Structure 1
Amino acid sequence: MVIDCNRSAEFDDDTKLELINEALSMVDEPTRNLYKFNLYDRKKLFEKAGYDIGLTDPIDYINNLGYKNIFRFIQTHPHLDHFKGMNDLFESFSVWNIWCIKNNFTMDLTKLNDSEKVDWALLKKFRDTNERKIENTTIVRPYAGHSRDFWREDNITVLSPTPELVKLAQEKENRNIMSYVLLVEHGGHKLIFGGDAEKETWEYILDNYEEKIKNVTVIDASHHGRDSGYYQPAVKVMNPEYVVVSVGKKPSTDATNKYKQYARNVWSTRWKGNITFTINSDGSGSYDTQYDR
């Protein structure tokens, strides 16, 4: 199972600005002045601040694991940083199923490069069709509550979205509200993949699945760990042992310190690199991080 794809050698503009502001807060004043007057480039600034971890190409990562097929690809919601490189993914692997909810969001093609336009066209093809299958990929559109209605082997509960949340997302022009949120249970452990869910999404989940989301082992923090994806009442109920964020830590936009009120371990892929959790059917398990920071 692959959830979203962002095959980008560069950070998106928001992330880039967040990183620059963070790095500037971590270096001395002479360095800040040099950067201010374009006498110090961004790469050197990041290195001086201690942030020198490169981005991982998801296709290379899956190839290195030895996989040739992807059983399911879940497209959580139509933001570019969640489907960039999707066409390459489908060309590199045999993708057997795709989860993709119908919606009416559009993209400004003038702001997309050629490869991004191809990714958007592929996503639209799966999103808008009424066919059950395109080539060798089966199209599945599960909503909240559709646990095991489309599969039997995996213990996955779809917590979001609902048709109502998709409609609300479109009315508010906020794609994050319709994001998939998934609960995966295995070996007595619970893992929650939060997509980019925001307050309205978490309110629905807490109202309808409070018992299901109690005492979670791992949370993949919503909206990359940003404050906009943090909903305190839900996090308190989930009471996670580990939270993985991919933004932190910048005080103005990041919820790392808030997650730390409820989780013993809050880790950022920006500092730890790739983070792997292994959970066995008997409940035992382990974790591994690319960098020990």
Structure 2
Amino acid sequence: MAVPATADDAKTKIHFIDVGQADATLLEQNGFFALIDAGEADTQTDLIDYLHEVGVEKLEYLIMTHPHSDHIGGMRAVLDTFEVNQVLLPNFDKAPVEWWPSTERLMERINEQKNPAIVMQTGDIYPLGEGNISVLMDGIQSDNANNLSPILRFEVAEFRFLIEGDAEKEIEETALERNLDIRASLFKAGHHGSATSNTEPFVQMIAPQYVIISCGQDNSYGHPHEEVLEIFEETGSRVFRTDQNGTIVAYVDQEQKLQIAVADVSEDLADVA
């Protein structure tokens, strides 16, 4: 799906790319791009084609939330296709990681980059155009690699977007204990809309007006889980899903309103100014 004509002049866009039961989110700000996760290996061609289609020639950042195949499968292809200024990694020391041959090959490819990869740490801020990507929390010590996932906030002026990879309830509970400012008008549901994430207190603290869920059609996990959808409904959040809507593009228009494009249909969602 191409970005609709109504978004052509928008400086700030977030592309939730349909990569099936996987994750790939492209941040765009005034011609600068950052890709968070890269789907599965079997969707890498579609991912690369989409990045070309929306005008990506260089990525300022390629961000890995955690090293599971549905988040890193297309990363080598991205590195081989586009100039990447900086690779941002989670702290692998915080949880056990299964180093599959494909994961090892990816890490070898990352180590070939001109700029050494950076391990994200709480408090880091990475500029992207006129906005910033902030690491609100860099994962926790855990026996679950999902909990390597950082909580990231992308903000431009008054617009805020929150993304947490596959972080589970332990991450969310810790974020609340630390009184992190996680408020955001746009939230990408954790772990494909699983009930292992998206706890009610966490979602209530975010108070998102709109939630995007990246999941595959008729996936075997049953994502998104019904109890999570009920939490979003109770919070008053409007939900869009890649399994139902395909690739989704959220953008801030010239009137500083948050808009969303689904299957080439744009809807005025909310003022963000």
Match of 2:121 in 1: 143
CA–CA distance in 2 between the matches of 1:205 and 1:281?
A: 33
Query: Is the CA contact 1:278–1:285 (under 8 Å) kept in the aligned structure 2?
Result: yes
Which of 172, 182, 200 is the equivalent residue of 1:213?
182
Query: Which amino acid in structure 2 is aligned with residue 245 of structure 1?
Result: I
Which of 236, 253, 270 is the equivalent residue of 1:263?
236
CA–CA distance in 1 between the matches of 2:85 and 2:186?
A: 27
Match of 2:54 in 1: 65
Query: Is the CA contact 1:73–1:95 (under 8 Å) kept in the aligned structure 2?
Result: yes
* SS at structure 2 position matched to 1:227: coil
Residues 135 and 252 of structure 1: CA distance in aligned 2, closer, same or farther (over 3 Å): closer
Does 2:114 match 1:123? Answer: no
Aligned-pair CA distance for 1:252:
8.5
Query: Which amino acid in structure 2 is aligned with residue 241 of structure 1?
Result: Q
Query: Which amino acid in structure 1 is aligned with residue 98 of structure 2?
Result: M
Query: Is the CA contact 1:161–1:178 (under 8 Å) kept in the aligned structure 2?
Result: yes
Does 2:75 match 1:75? Answer: no
Query: Is the CA contact 1:243–1:263 (under 8 Å) kept in the aligned structure 2?
Result: no
Residues 267 and 56 of structure 1: CA distance in aligned 2, closer, same or farther (over 3 Å): farther
Query: Which amino acid in structure 2 is aligned with residue 197 of structure 1?
Result: A
Match of 1:189 in 2: 159
Aligned-pair CA distance for 1:181:
1.5
CA–CA distance in 1 between the matches of 2:58 and 2:224?
A: 40
CA–CA distance in 2 between the matches of 1:231 and 1:175?
A: 19
Residues 185 and 251 of structure 1: CA distance in aligned 2, closer, same or farther (over 3 Å): closer
CA–CA distance in 2 between the matches of 1:284 and 1:252?
A: 28
* SS at structure 1 position matched to 2:234: coil
Give the paired residue count. Answer: 225
So what's the TM-score if we normalise by structure 1? 0.68
Query: Is the CA contact 2:166–2:197 (under 8 Å) kept in the aligned structure 1?
Result: yes
Residues 108 and 97 of structure 1: CA distance in aligned 2, closer, same or farther (over 3 Å): closer
Moved more, 197-206 or 1-10: 1-10
Query: Is the CA contact 2:251–2:258 (under 8 Å) kept in the aligned structure 1?
Result: yes
- Once the two structures are superposed, the pairs formed by residues 26-41 of structure 1 within 5 Å of their partners are none
Structure 2: gaps of 5 or more residues: 1-33, 266-273
Match of 1:244 in 2: 212
- Once the two structures are superposed, the pairs formed by residues 80-159 of structure 1 within 5 Å of their partners are 80-104=69-93, 105-107=96-98, 109=100, 117-123=101-107, 126=110, 134-147=112-125, 154-159=131-136
Match of 1:226 in 2: 194
Query: Which amino acid in structure 2 is aligned with residue 185 of structure 1?
Result: E
Structure 1: gaps of 5 or more residues: 11-54, 110-116
Residues 276 and 286 of structure 1: CA distance in aligned 2, closer, same or farther (over 3 Å): same
Give the structure with the larger strand fraction.
2
Q: Deviations over 1:20-39 (max 9, x none)?
A: xxxxxxxxxxxxxxxxxxxx
Aligned-pair CA distance for 1:257:
2.2
Aligned-pair CA distance for 1:193:
1.0
Query: Is the CA contact 1:87–1:119 (under 8 Å) kept in the aligned structure 2?
Result: no
Query: Which amino acid in structure 2 is aligned with residue 5 of structure 1?
Result: A
Residues 267 and 152 of structure 1: CA distance in aligned 2, closer, same or farther (over 3 Å): closer
Give the structure with the larger helix fraction.
1
Query: Is the CA contact 2:247–2:262 (under 8 Å) kept in the aligned structure 1?
Result: yes
* SS at structure 1 position matched to 2:147: helix
RMSD value over aligned CA atoms? 2.8
Query: Is the CA contact 1:273–1:291 (under 8 Å) kept in the aligned structure 2?
Result: no
Q: Deviations over 1:164-196 (max 9, x none)?
A: x1xx22xx2x01111022111123121101211
Does 2:37 match 1:4? Answer: yes
Q: Deviations over 1:1-41 (max 9, x none)?
A: 0000114447xxxxxxxxxxxxxxxxxxxxxxxxxxxxxxx
Deviant stretches of 4+, over 6 Å: none
**Bigger radius of gyration among the two:** 1
CA–CA distance in 1 between the matches of 2:223 and 2:50?
A: 31
CA–CA distance in 2 between the matches of 1:199 and 1:161?
A: 14
So what's the TM-score if we normalise by structure 2? 0.72
Query: Which amino acid in structure 2 is aligned with residue 140 of structure 1?
Result: I
Moved more, 94-103 or 136-145: 136-145
Does 2:259 match 1:286? Answer: yes
